[in-house]
Amino acid sequence: MANELKIYWTRGEGAARIRWGTPGDFTRCERALDKHVGSARAKRICAQWHYDMNGFWPGDRRNR
């Protein structure tokens, strides 16, 4: 089940909502997941997915 959710948010319809690789992608992910898993867990999940999709961590100097 967890793998299906990751696919949805990183490659499927959820990814279209987040628009990975554009400014604000981490924030959009965090807001979308917050209502489902809570704020702290959403931040951890979105940070990992941001790294997976963009190749660098949110807050990294390359994210400017």
DSSP 14-47: HHHHHTTTSTTHHHHHHHHHHHHH-HHHHHHHHH
| Number of C-beta neighbours around residue 33 at 10 A | 22
- pLDDT-derived band of residue 61, with 50, 70 and 90 as boundaries? confident
pLDDT value at 50 more than 80: yes
Tell me the per-residue pLDDT of 15-49, one tens digit each, with 9 for 90 and over: 999 999 999 999 999 999 999 999 999 999 999 99
- Please give the backbone phi and psi of residue 18, each rounded to the nearest 5 degrees, phi first: -80, -30
- Please state whether the predicted TM-score (pTM) of the whole model is above 0.85: yes
